Amino acid sequence: MDSQLTADGAALRLFFTDDVYLVNEADAQCDASVSVGNNQAANPIGNLAVQPNAVIPVIKQESVAPVIEPAAPIVAQAIEFKYLGNNKRNILILVNDEENEVSDDAGRELLRKIVKSVNLTANDFALLNYAKYKGTGFKQLHEHFSCTLVFAFGVTPAHLSMATAHPEHSIVLEGAVRMIFSAELKTLDQNPAGKKALWGSLQSLGL
51 falls within a domain: no
Helix or strand run (H / E) with residue 15: helix 9-15
Q: Which residue has the higher pLDDT, 126 or 60?
A: 126
* Rounded Cα distance, 180 and 205, in Å: 10
178 falls within a domain: yes
110 falls within a domain: yes
Examine the pLDDT at 133 and tell me if it is beyond 90.
yes
Domain count, the chain: 2
Got the DSSP string for 109-163?
HHHHHHHHHTT--TTTEEEEEGGGSTT--HHHHHHHH--SEEEEES--TTTTT-S
43 falls within a domain: no
Q: Which residue has the higher pLDDT, 40 or 163?
A: 163
Strand order in 125-129's β-sheet? Answer: 125-129, 91-95, 149-153, 177-182, 171-174
Q: Who contacts 133 (Cβ-Cβ below 8 Å, separation ≥6)?
A: 79, 81
Q: Quick: pLDDT tens for 56-104.
A: 555 555 556 666 666 655 545 668 899 999 999 999 999 999 999 999 9
Average pLDDT value for the chain: 78
Is 117 found in the same domain as 19?
no
Is 24 found in the same domain as 113?
no
Task: Give 85's DSSP letter.
Answer: S
Is 185 found in the same domain as 117?
yes
197: confidence class by pLDDT, cuts 50, 70, 90: very high
High-pLDDT (> 90) share of the chain, %? 57
Is 188 found in the same domain as 101?
yes
140 falls within a domain: yes
165: confidence class by pLDDT, cuts 50, 70, 90: confident
Contact status, residue 173 vs residue 179, Cβ threshold 8 Å: yes
Is 97 found in the same domain as 26?
no
Q: What is the mean pLDDT of residues 28-55?
A: 49
* Rounded Cα distance, 7 and 148, in Å: 134
Q: What is the mean pLDDT of residues 99-127?
A: 95
Is 114 found in the same domain as 17?
no
Is 196 found in the same domain as 98?
yes
Task: Give 205's DSSP letter.
Answer: S
Look up the domain containing 17 and give its range. Answer: 9-35
pTM: 0.63
User: What's the confidence (pLDDT) of residue 77?
Assistant: 63
104 exposed, middle or buried (CB, 10 Å; 0-12, 13-18, 19+)? middle
Is 27 found in the same domain as 114?
no
